[in-house]
Amino acid sequence: MFTKTNTYLLVSLLLSLSASSSVCLAADPEPPPAVTTKDVDKAMPVTEKIKTDFQSVEERRLYAILQNERDNLEEEKKVLVFKEKELKTLQIEADKKLKLLDEKLAELRALQGKIEELLKEKDIQEQQKTKDLSLIYAKMTPDRAALAMATLDEQLAADLLANMKVKSAAKILDRMDKAKASQLSETFTTIKVE
């Protein structure tokens, strides 16, 4: 026979299992009064809630099942807490790595900007040197300029001709070998794509 204290104990243990419990109880002819864990906590101090002397085998069996479920839930809770700590640690490490990658990316972008500036400056200097060299070739006699340009890289020779006055470039092309003049003319008219 259940006493009022035992009933409260069983109700409190059943409520602590939550929805995950697999305990089945035989149907009572009369449903127990609606008791919440707060009511049980107010009615009994903590020391009276865990009772080891039972009045029936059924109480002892239910208590063992409930205790086993509670232990399982506590173990699962410990595992979840441990995994949560691991996840937080991993998240902190990932955030640090992302921050480091962002810093490296910013450094690389700054470096890329400097390289682009240096390349623009180099192009400007090369263009200026090509103009200066074209002035030198323009002042040479057409025969000597044609002979010197015949040994140059085609693109450089075409750039030199492009920077000369049309009259000087025509005189130099006229003194060149026909095949070389044809190649330079073709290179001169080809648009560079960079």
* Amino acid (one-letter) located at 148: A
Lowest-pLDDT range, 68-82, 124-138, 180-194? Answer: 180-194
Share of the chain above pLDDT 90, in %: 35
Question: From CA 150, how far away is CA 113, in angstroms rounded?
Answer: 38
Angular region, 190: left φ>0, alpha ψ -120 to 50, beta rest? beta
Contact present, 62 and 10 (Cβ < 8 Å): yes
User: Mean pLDDT, the chain, as a whole number?
Assistant: 79
- pLDDT band of 38, cuts 50, 70, 90: low
* Amino acid (one-letter) located at 151: T
Q: Model-level pTM?
A: 0.47
Question: From CA 11, how far away is CA 74, in angstroms rounded?
Answer: 19
Q: Is the pLDDT of residue 8 over 70?
A: no
Residues 6+ apart with CB under 8 A from 28: none
Which position has the higher pLDDT, 145 or 192?
145
Q: Is the pLDDT of residue 47 over 60?
A: no
Q: Is the pLDDT of residue 39 over 90?
A: no
Contact present, 166 and 193 (Cβ < 8 Å): no
What pLDDT shows up at residue 105? 95
Each residue of 20-34: pLDDT tens digit?
A: 444 444 444 455 555
DSSP string for residues in 110-137: HHHHHHHHHHHHHHHHHHHHHHHHHHHH
Phi/psi of residue 81, nearest 5 degrees: -65, -45
What pLDDT shows up at residue 104? 95
DSSP string for residues in 21-65: -----PPPSSPPP---HHHHHHHS-HHHHS----SSHHHHHHHHH
Residues 6+ apart with CB under 8 A from 148: 137, 140
Each residue of 123-164: pLDDT tens digit?
A: 999 999 989 998 998 888 989 988 888 888 888 888 888 888
What pLDDT shows up at residue 185? 83
What pLDDT shows up at residue 129? 92
Question: From CA 175, how far away is CA 172, in angstroms rounded?
Answer: 5
